[in-house]
Amino acid sequence: MTPILVTGAAGFIGYHLCEKLLGAGKKVLGVDNLNDYYDPKLKEARLAELGKHANFTFARVDIADRVALGKALTWTGIRQVVHLAAQAGVRYSITNPHVYISSNVNGTTNILEACREARVDHLILASSSSVYGGNEHTPFSIHDNVDHPVSVYAATKKAGELLAHAYSHLFNTPITCLRFFNVYGPWGRPDMAYYSFSRAIMDGQPIEIFNEGKMTRDFTYVGDIVECIFRILDKPPVPNPGFDRKQPDPASSWAPWRVYNIGNDNPVGLMQFVETLEKVLGKKAVKVMKPLQPGDLTTTHADVSELRRDFGFRPDTPLEEGLRRFAEWFRSYHNI
């Protein structure tokens, strides 16, 4: 049994994907640099859980370090790769752009090069709903033009999609790009709104509501995200025989490259989200209204019709159910 390589294995989505693959009897090679963007103890706790599986192997390496990556990994036998490692965070990217170029552009290039050399059967590349940038037409469709990012983070994720297409075209590498929409759930990142809100609410501290609450988000439960990846992994894309180069469709290609949205297709207002969080935590929030922050989108809404058509699945975990599962984990992890 050849291992599936998962980059960012100690991260939020990476951890859940590894658990899903290992639970299905797969062998997993995880890679992560355990950086301190947020408390590494949370990443170490995720790794400790993964380490309970005999089929899990871990390599601590920064994907942006090409030499170290080459030394740490033996690519012989690796047929499938899920590339989740990235520097996350929209606002942090505005003040620390070079970190994002290093990880999301240089690091992704290193993974693409390694996949080319190993001639992998399928590479799944994590992208983001942030690529839709200044688009106001909703729901966001994979057929929409996404050439107007509003944050450095979004620009680097779009760059990853473009690099992936170039490699798919040049080297016939099958690559699927997945645009994740507002992922939440147990073991999440502390910098994400639902997590930071929960800590503040339980500590009796105020939470900041940006754009005075006039925002909607397509919140997607992490279990639905990994189920989609699991279903897509064994179905690499093939060239689109009907691709029209005179009227190019941004969602497909003459190369074995595709892009899909993964979202709940059910956007929720920010204030409704806060009310639901208050309900599952059993405590009211102290709210402070703030203006819209640079780089933020006012609305995210995923059109997942192609995902449903091609893989027979769409995320559907209700927000209250997903937040309840998060709250249970949150209380347990923080001994509340």
Residues forming the active site? 153
Residues pairing with 7 in the sheet:
31, 83
Distance CA 328, CA 284 (A): 17
Give the three-class secondary structure for 314: coil
- Strand ordering across the sheet containing 257-262: 56-60, 28-32, 4-7, 80-83, 122-128, 175-180, 257-262
The DSSP annotation for 244-289 comes to -TTS--TT--SSSEEEEEE--S--EEHHHHHHHHHHHHTSPPEEEE
Q: Cα–chain-centroid distance for residue 245?
A: 30
Tell me which residue has tokens 């347990």: 332
Distance CA 71, CA 123 (A): 21
